[in-house]
Structures are given as structure tokens and as C-alpha cells.
Structure 1
Amino acid sequence: MKPLWRLNLYLYKYKGYLLLGVLFTIISNFFVIIPAQLVRIAIDYVVESFSFYGAISDSDLAGEARSLFLKYILIFGVLILIMALLRGFFLFLIRQTIIIMSRLVEYDMKNEIFEHYQNLPLSFYRRNSTGDLMARITEDVSRVRMYLGPAIMYGINLLVLFPMVIGYMISVNVELTIYSLLPLPILSLSIYYVNNMINERSEKIQRSLSGLSTFVQEAFSGIRVLKAFVREEDSVNDFTKASEDYKDKSISLTLVQSLFFPLIMALIGMSVILTVYIGGIQVIEGTIGYGVIAEFILYVNMLTWPVTSLGWVTSIIQRAAASQQRINEFLDEKNDIQSTEHLEVPIKGNIEVKKVSFIYPDSGIKALDQISFKINAGQSLAIIGTTGSGKSTIANLLMRMYDVSEGEILIDQRDIKSYDIASLRKQIGYVPQDVFLFSDSIANNIGFGLDTIPEGVVEKAAKDADVYQNIIDFPKGFETKLGERGITLSGGQKQRVSIARAIAKEPSILLLDDCLSAVDTKTENAILNSLKDIMAKRTSIIISHRVSSAKLADKILVLDDGMIVEQGTHDHLMGLKGVYADLYEKQTQAPETIIE
């Protein structure tokens, strides 16, 4: 239960719902017990009335006695009906308090977890898969809600009903109470073990279904590749095997579930048989009336579901505790990227990187080694290098997605750690290498970085990124809805929309992280020419593996294996005849066609 202690804060927050739920549970159980007593009184009344009626059946009083007898029976029936209606009403109130409380807690928990996710550093997302993050905010929270709702509701009902019913039973007949309750502990233990078997097999089915869904998703996403390599038949065979596994696990679960109700009915039947047998002996001996047997049978049936639910509730609590422990693991994660002074000041754009080294905390890979460079406000810098040379790491450090392992980064002569993180990132226009567009309109995607979108800003940013004409060619123009991850657009269009999104918020620093890799040379030249005016007003860093992207920069850095191997202007680096000149020649000279 220790992981579930964290939920006490929510229970305290919604204590009004919980206390009302307890009160309504107590009241509703009175309307369960009273009908059983009315049944006992009614049966005893019927038996005695028939004896009396038999004695006077030939007299003139017979008709009047029969009328009076039926009148009292009707009164008993109406009272039992009223009790049932009142119980139903209070059961409704119980669900309107405890179950609603669980839904409110579920809402709060999902919001808390999602907000916490948003505040965690990028390293957290590198360590954990998206599927695991989703499972904890959906499936695990749902299991916890089952504990806060049904488990608490039935648990309270058990704690209230048991003492009340058993107290009444003992007050009527101790011996009959003991015999009638004998099978109930066995019932509870049996349900507990059967439930565990059901849960275990259900989880196996969930994993099998998850694998099946993943397989189908991949098959549909990669249908072009499947068809190109003529692997449709193999794909169908693999799906058949996965379906067979899911079918076998489902049948196995159905077999266990089929034991559930027969087991309950058998043990309830044993309680009823013992009650009738022992009660019958006592009726013959004259120690109790016929009505007591009926009353006890009703009591046994009243206790059957609470006892049955004991095993079920225990199983829910176990699953909820395991799920809450998984949730707590993520909620206990801390964001080590913190601001030291929370400065919220306008940034001019002077950047100085001093002897910076960086090791990725999750993999231990050293991405940068003693990097130093300086850019003045309004200048542009190109960072060129092969894949894995550490180019994108510099962008991540400037955005404070990570903190440096050694050295320091200064912006406007202040340590980058002194700036408020949100304020810093709002003043940096970042175009990532892996473009991500939301399933929203193109206009909203371009204006994503703005709290309010001023008129004309989106259109101007689109023109600067050389994507305006493409957008207005769509039937709905800027209001065109993009599919998942921007699938409506081509690769080049997606990158240009991403550039427009960075430009739209008028940043002090512009970071282009290999964002022109998916466009052709002609489009690249058009975008770079459009960016001339924009880059002139702000500090710009162009990260690329293509030297053609570096021609607008005032200064060029060449990285290799996390170290600066060359730096200077284009003409200076070409004169060195080193790594940069070699890259330039390889990428700009078209290979000769050899015909044999």
C-alpha cells in the first residue's frame, strides 16, 4: 500500500465526496437489512395466520380474517418495495460521490503527470520510450482510478455491511450464523486466486494485442516498401501467427473466466443448504420460526457480493499499487536544467562558447571536446561537419535542452544558466533537423511560437521561407489542415514551414539545425537568399553537413569528432586546402560520367 499513500493528498482534497459516500453507504445498508427482517416477520405472520384461519375457516369470522390477513400482507409488500427504492436511491448517491471523486482524481492526476512530463529535460525522453510514457498516463492512471472508485466504494460497503448484518444474525441465532457463514471465507480466497489468474492472463493478452497493433501499424505505414519488395504474403503469414497467439491467449482467459460464476454459485449454494438444513432442524425442535430461515438466506445473499468483492478489491489494490509505483517513478524525476537567477531580459545576441565539453548523460558518448568560439550580435556563423561530429549538440546546448559538462556558454556576457529558461527559448528561433508539424492548420503551425498571432506575420514568414506560393496553391490556403506529423506536405515544404515558424516569432538568435537537407539546391538557394535580410538583423547559426549552406555566414567552423579542426571565412578556409576545401570540392563538383 506504500506507493498509494501519495494519493492521500487527493483524498483529502475531495474529502467531502468521500465522507458523503461513507454516510450514504451506511444509510443504504439499513435499507438492505430492514427488508430481511420484514420478510421474517411476514412469513411468521403468514404461518400463524394460516393456523388461526384454519381454526375459524367454518365460522362467520373467516371472511373478515382473510381480508385482514391480505391487508397486512399488502402492507409488508409495499414496505419492502419502499425499502428497495430507497436503497436504489442511496446507491445512486454513493456512485455520485465516490465514483465522481475517482474521476476527479483521475483528471487531476493526468494533468499533473502531463505537466510534469512537459517540465522534464530532453535527456528524460531519450531514456524512455513514447509508448511507456503513454502507458503511465493512461493505463496506469486508469488502474489507480479503479482503486479510488470501485475498490474504495466496495471496501467501505464491506466494512459497513459486515458488522451490521453479522450483528443482526448473531442477535437472532448464533449457531445458525456460524453455519451459514462457513463457506464465505473459502469463497473470498477462491475469488482472489481466480482474479489473479484472470489479471495475469489479461496482461498477457494486452501485450499480445499491443504487439499485434504495432505490427499492423508498421505494415500499413510501410505498405509501399512491402509492395515494392513483394512481401505481402510474408506479411500476411506473420500477421496470422500473431493473431494465433492472441487467439490462444484469449481462449485461455475465457476458460478461467468461465470458472468464476460457477464457483460463486456453488459456494453460495453450500451456504443456503447449510442454512436450510441447520435451520430446518431448529424449526422442528421449535427453537426458531420459519421466517428465520428465509431471513438468514437473505442475509447470506447480502454478504455474498461483499465477500466476493473482497478478492476482487484486493486484486485491484495490488494492480493499483504497482501502477502507482510506476507513476511515482516518473513524478519523482527531477529537472536538473534550472535557472540560477531567472533573468527575463531582451537578448541582443552576443554568444561566447568557452572550452565547452559535453557528454550525453544517458549514453556516456562524448559529443564535444573543448569547443570555443564567439559570435557578435547580428553576425552569422556556419557550423559544418559530417554526421556525428557534434553539430546538433551545440544547438541543444544553446537552447538549454542540456547543460554543458565542462566550460561555459555566455549570452550577452551573462552565463546562459542565469536566464529564465522560457524567456531564453522564446528569443531563439529554432529549426530542428527532424521537422515536426502538428495536426493543425498551416497558419497555426507557423504561428505556433506566438501567444497571439498578429495579422500578416504568418504570410510574411511564409514568404521569407519561400513556401508562400506552395501554401496558397492549396484549396484552403493557410487554413489547410495538415495530417499526422505534417504528412500533407512534401519533405521540402515541411522544412520550409518549420523555418517560417522560427522566423515568425522575430527571434534575437536564429538556429538552423541542418534544416535544408531535404530540399534541392535550387530551393536551398531561394531560401538562403530569402534569409539574407532576416539574418542581417539577428545572430544566426547555420548547422549543416552541406558547404553550400555556409556561403552566407560571416564565419565558418568545421567540426570533426566533437572538436573544431578549422575555422575562418570561406576564402580563408579554401586557402588552407584542408578539411573544408576537400568537402567543398567533393560537394560542388559534379562527378564525370564514365562510358566504357
Structure 2
Amino acid sequence: MKELKYLNRFFKKYKLRLLLGVIITIIARVFSLVLPPYVNKSITAVEDYFLSGNSNVSELKTQLISYIIIIVGAALLSAFFTFLMRQTIINVSRYIEYDLKNEIYSHYQKLPLDFYKQNRTGDLMNRISEDVSQVRMYAGPAIMYSIQTLTLFICVIPIMIYKSPYMSLYALLPLPILSFLIYKISKIIHSRSTIVQQYLSALSTFTQEAFSGISVIKAYSLENDINKDIEALATEGKNKSMNLAKVNSWFFPLMILLIGLSSLLAIYAGGKQYINGEIESTGLILEFILYILMLTWPVATVGWVTSIVQRAEASQKRLNEFLNVEPAIINTVTKETPIKGEVEFKNVTFTYDDTNITALKNISFKVNAGETVAIIGKTGSGKSTILNLISRMYDIDSGEILLDGVRIKDLNLNNIRKAIGAVPQDAFLFSSTLEENIKFGKTEASDDEMIKAAQKASIHDSIMGFTHKYKTVLGERGITLSGGQQQRVSIARAIIKDPKIYLFDDCLSAVDTETEEKILTNLSEVSKEKTTILVSHRISSAKNANKIFVIDEGKIIQQGTHNQLISKDGYYKELYLNQLSEKEN
């Protein structure tokens, strides 16, 4: 259970509720202990009545009625406290589930981009849903039934031994066998539970990817192949689950068998004592049978609780794998550090950990606050990497990145990202309304601000043509919009934020030339006195920049203004002439 130690701080947080639950559980079980001795007394009273030849029936009735009232009253009180027990302990498990999910989600958000390249979305989702649900069962039902079982064992067994050591010996004889079987089966459950959870993650990952890529699957007519793959995966998962179920299925039959055996042994031992005159009434035998029956469910739950604990331990181990991953990007500055917009790279080298590709090699440049800079280069030359480093999505290997003359690590990370309006190469839109997607850049923005941002991004007219206009709900990842519309909504999201630094990563690649010119004109107005860094493959997007950097294989091979660069032979001039020729054709 070492993996489950992670939950101890949650138990500490809710210790008063748990303590109250434990007290209520003990009270509920103590009231349930009233039943057996009063059943014994009732039977003894009836036996004494017939054996003594007493003709006073009213006295017997009064006595039995008083016993019945006590039994029923104790049962009602036990039921009431059992209800309170569930309201305390089970509720605590829900609170822990809530806290754990929030903590995992918060931790996910702190993890670097490399983490998401190495782990699949379906697996991440399964861990925060299925695995946390398994852990909740340990934090609630497992604890509740364990306390119940422990309370009954502590109370019932001493009473049984006190009333008849001989009968107790026979009745409790199967318990060591039960303990041994639980130990052996638990080990098997643990290993098989881990495998089942892994297959659930694999199934979630596969289906998530299949649904996300459904357009590709349909385009290549691969539905049957995908169905076969998921059927094979589901069948394998079913087999693993059945292997676990087969082991779990041994618990209850074994419990019932051993409890039945205990009852038979108690009847045998008690009957023998009654025949030998060692006990005066058969009521004690029935009392013992009731004690054994009272132990039936708690003893049966030992197996169930063991299964819960083993599954929870396997699930918590999977959660701990991610929770123990230290965020690579850490905000070490708590004070506010406002950003003005000056960006400088000094001999920066950066290598991606997952691919070991060196994207930038000893690169240096400076962008003054309020300047517009364009970065041109081939695919994979390191253009997008520069933007990711400015927003500190990664930390560099060597060199320095300065914002306003201060090392980027010495600035408040939240201030850095709040000062940046980033438009990624692949526009990501959420499955919500257009209004919410645009206001994502500034949640408190007014409708007028939203409309102005949409107009600047040249998407307002398209939105007004939709039936529900800005209330239009988009499909997953904005699939209901065209590529160009997605990019323009993403641009509007950055504009409404009104940041100090704009980072545009080839964000006009899906729009036509006329719309591009219109957006660029609007952006030049919006970005006045704002630092703007624009990555593009098009000369038309870069030509009006104050400065243009041409990058190849992680190095700056050319820099200057548009007019300066087209007057020199090199990559920029060649690209310019090629695009000019394509435009004329």
C-alpha cells in the first residue's frame, strides 16, 4: 500500500469528518450487538416458562414485549447511525476525489510540452477519471467497511469467548484459513488490476484518436480496419478483465462457505454442550449463530475491501507516475514583473529532449519594444522554436533570453505569458461558442471589444452570416469552420487580449492573398507600439516588417529590411522571385 501513502494528506485534511465517521460507525455496530443476547433471553424465557410449568402467561408476554421493544429500538438506532456513517465517510471520499482530480488537472497544466508529446490524451484522460474513481473506492467504502469489520471483530469475538470458549473455538476455527486465502488471492488481484487499468488507458487512447481523426479514416475508407483493431483491443481488454473477475469471484463463495462451516461447527459444539448439561439453554446456540451471521457480511467484505485496496493501489501507482514528474518550467519569481516588449537572444542554443534535434544553434538578435520583426525560413529551420522560447514553453540549453534586459527566468512566468498574444501555426479552437473562443483571450471583454477584434481579424462578416452568429457552437477543435476561418478566430483571440508582444506563427497560411493583405493592414494598426514577431513562408506577410531574419538550420543566415534583402543574392531574394512568379501566373 506504499503508493496509497500519497492520500494521507487528504485524510489529514478531513480528519475531523473521518474521526466523526469512525465514532458513528462504532456506535452503529454497538447498537447492533443488542440483538443476539436479547434473542437468547427471549428463548430462555420461553424455555423456562414451559419447563417450570408456570401458568402466568401475562408475565411472559410482558417480558417478551420488553425484549422486542429493546431489539427493535436498537435496530432502528443502528440503522440511523449507519445512515450517518455513510453520510460522513462516503462524503469524505467524494471530497478526496474532487481534490485529487483538481490536483492532477492542475499538475497536468504545469507539465512541459515534451510531456504531452510523450503521453497520449486518452491515457491522460483515463488516469484522471477511471484511476481516480478506483482510488475513491479506497478512500470511502474500503475504509468504512474496514472500520465496521474491525469494530465487530473487537466486540463480538471477546463476547463469544466470554460466553463459551469451547463453542468460540469451533466457530472461529475457519478464520485463519480465510486469512491465508485472502493473502494469496490479493497478490493475484494486484497484478491483474494493474493490467486491466493499462488496457482501459489503451482503449481510451485508441478511441480518442479514432474520433479525432475520423475525417482521415473516412477519406481512406479505413472504417473496417479500425473496427477490427478496436475489436481486437476490446477483446484483449475483456480477457484481462475476465481474468481479474475470475479471481474476484472466488471471494464471496469462499466467505459464505467458511461462514456456513462456522455455523455448523457452532451448532455441533453448542449441541454437544447442551446435551452434556454444560449450557442451560439452546438460546446461547442461537445467540452464537447470530454472532456468526453478524460477522458474515464483514468477513465477506474483507475480500471485497482487499480487492478495492489492490485496485486502488494499482491506480494510485499510475497516478503517481505523472504526479511525480517535476515541471520543467518553474515560476521562481512571485513578485510582479511588468513586461514592456523588448526581446533579445544572446548566443541561444536549444535541443529538443524528445527528438534530440538541435533547433537553434548559437543564435543572437534583438527586437526593440514596438518593433515588427518577420522570421522567414524553410520548414524545420527553427522559426516556431523561437516563438516557443519567448513565451517560455521551453528553457534553453545555453545562452540567454532577455525581456526588457532581464533574464527570462528572472521574470514572473505569469506576467510573461499575460504580456504575450500568441497565434499558433495550427489554430486550436474549443468546442464552445465563437464568443467564448474569442473572449478566451480576455474573458472579461465586452461584446464591443469582441466585435472590434473580429473585424480586425476579418472574421466578423463570416460570423454574422451564421444562423446563431457569435453564439454559434463549434465542433471539436473548431472543425465546423474552414482552416482560414479558424486562423482568423485565433487572431481575433490574440487581438482582444491587447498584449505587449504579438507572436504570429504562420497564422495566415490558410487565407487568400486579398484577405491576408486586409488582415496585415489591420494588424499594423493594432500592433502599433507593440512588439510583433511574425513567422511566415510568404514574403507578402514579411515585407513591411522593420526587420527580417532569414533562418536556416537554426542559424540566422540573412537579416535586414525587405528592400535590403531583395537587393542581395540569397535565400530571401530567391523566395521573393519564386512567389512573385507564382502570383503572376
| Aligned mates of 2:238, 2:348 — CA distance in 1 | 56
The gaps in structure 1 that reach 5 residues or longer are 57-61
Task: Work out whether 1:554 is the aligned partner of 2:541.
Answer: no
Taking every aligned residue pair, what percent have the same amino acid on both sides?
52
| Aligned mates of 2:224, 2:359 — CA distance in 1 | 44
Question: Is the partner of 2:425 in helix, strand or coil?
Answer: coil
Q: Which residue of 2 aligns with 1:330?
A: 322
| Aligned mates of 2:61, 2:525 — CA distance in 1 | 100
Q: How does 1:214-229 map to 2 (within 5 A)?
A: 215=206, 221-229=212-220
Question: Is the partner of 1:542 in helix, strand or coil?
Answer: strand
Question: Is the partner of 1:576 in helix, strand or coil?
Answer: coil
Task: Work out whether 1:468 is the aligned partner of 2:460.
Answer: yes
Q: Which residue of 2 aligns with 1:569?
A: 561
> 8 Å contact 1:195–1:312 — kept in the other structure?
no
Task: Work out whether 1:100 is the aligned partner of 2:91.
Answer: yes
| Aligned mates of 2:192, 2:289 — CA distance in 1 | 35
| Aligned mates of 2:125, 2:208 — CA distance in 1 | 17
Change in 2 beyond 3 A, CA 1:133/1:233: closer
Greater CA drift, 71-80 or 273-282: 71-80
Number of matched residues?
Answer: 584
> 8 Å contact 1:187–1:308 — kept in the other structure?
no
Task: Work out whether 1:141 is the aligned partner of 2:132.
Answer: yes
Question: Is the partner of 1:590 in helix, strand or coil?
Answer: helix
Question: Is the partner of 1:436 in helix, strand or coil?
Answer: coil
Greater CA drift, 396-405 or 223-232: 223-232
The gaps in structure 2 that reach 5 residues or longer are none
| Aligned mates of 1:119, 1:310 — CA distance in 2 | 39
Q: What CA RMSD, in Å, does the superposition of the two structures yield over aligned residues?
A: 2.7
| Aligned mates of 1:385, 1:290 — CA distance in 2 | 96
The offset of 1:82, in angstroms, is 1.5
Task: Work out whether 1:121 is the aligned partner of 2:112.
Answer: yes
Query: Which residue, 157, 182, 188 being the options, matches 1:166?
Result: 157
The offset of 1:367, in angstroms, is 1.0
> 8 Å contact 1:528–1:552 — kept in the other structure?
no
Q: Which residue of 2 aligns with 1:313?
A: 305
The offset of 1:464, in angstroms, is 0.8
| Aligned mates of 2:564, 2:301 — CA distance in 1 | 81
> 8 Å contact 1:191–1:308 — kept in the other structure?
no
Q: Which residue of 2 aligns with 1:23?
A: 23
| Aligned mates of 1:246, 1:322 — CA distance in 2 | 16
> 8 Å contact 1:192–1:312 — kept in the other structure?
no
The offset of 1:540, in angstroms, is 0.9
Letter in 2 for 1:40: N
Greater CA drift, 5-14 or 187-196: 187-196
Task: Work out whether 1:82 is the aligned partner of 2:73.
Answer: yes
Query: Which residue, 278, 282, 293 being the options, matches 1:287?
Result: 278
Q: Which residue of 1 aligns with 2:451?
A: 459
> Residue deviations 1:509-555, cap 9 Å, x none?
11101111222333322222222212333211111233332122122
TM-score normalised by L of structure 2: 0.92
Query: Which residue, 266, 271, 290 being the options, matches 2:257?
Result: 266
The offset of 1:183, in angstroms, is 1.3
> 8 Å contact 2:251–2:304 — kept in the other structure?
no
> 8 Å contact 2:39–2:283 — kept in the other structure?
yes
The offset of 1:191, in angstroms, is 4.7
Q: Which residue of 2 aligns with 1:449?
A: 441
Q: Which residue of 1 aligns with 2:492?
A: 500
Query: Which residue, 144, 155, 162 being the options, matches 2:146?
Result: 155
Greater CA drift, 146-155 or 498-507: 146-155
> 8 Å contact 1:342–1:418 — kept in the other structure?
no
Q: Which residue of 2 aligns with 1:59?
A: none
Question: Is the partner of 2:34 in helix, strand or coil?
Answer: helix
Letter in 1 for 2:160: M
| Aligned mates of 1:191, 1:211 — CA distance in 2 | 30
| Aligned mates of 1:476, 1:216 — CA distance in 2 | 31
Q: Which residue of 1 aligns with 2:404?
A: 412
Q: Which residue of 1 aligns with 2:47?
A: 47
> Residue deviations 1:274-322, cap 9 Å, x none?
1111111111001112011111111111222222323333333333334
The offset of 1:41, in angstroms, is 1.2
> Residue deviations 1:326-365, cap 9 Å, x none?
4344334333434565563543322221111112234332
> 8 Å contact 1:513–1:544 — kept in the other structure?
yes
| Aligned mates of 2:382, 2:296 — CA distance in 1 | 67
| Aligned mates of 1:404, 1:211 — CA distance in 2 | 33
> 8 Å contact 1:28–1:87 — kept in the other structure?
yes
Q: Which residue of 1 aligns with 2:349?
A: 357
Letter in 2 for 1:459: I
Q: Which residue of 2 aligns with 1:14?
A: 14
Letter in 1 for 2:113: L
Change in 2 beyond 3 A, CA 1:232/1:365: closer
> 8 Å contact 2:251–2:300 — kept in the other structure?
no
Question: Is the partner of 2:440 in helix, strand or coil?
Answer: coil
> 8 Å contact 2:18–2:88 — kept in the other structure?
yes
| Aligned mates of 2:151, 2:212 — CA distance in 1 | 55
The offset of 1:558, in angstroms, is 1.2
Question: Is the partner of 2:567 in helix, strand or coil?
Answer: helix
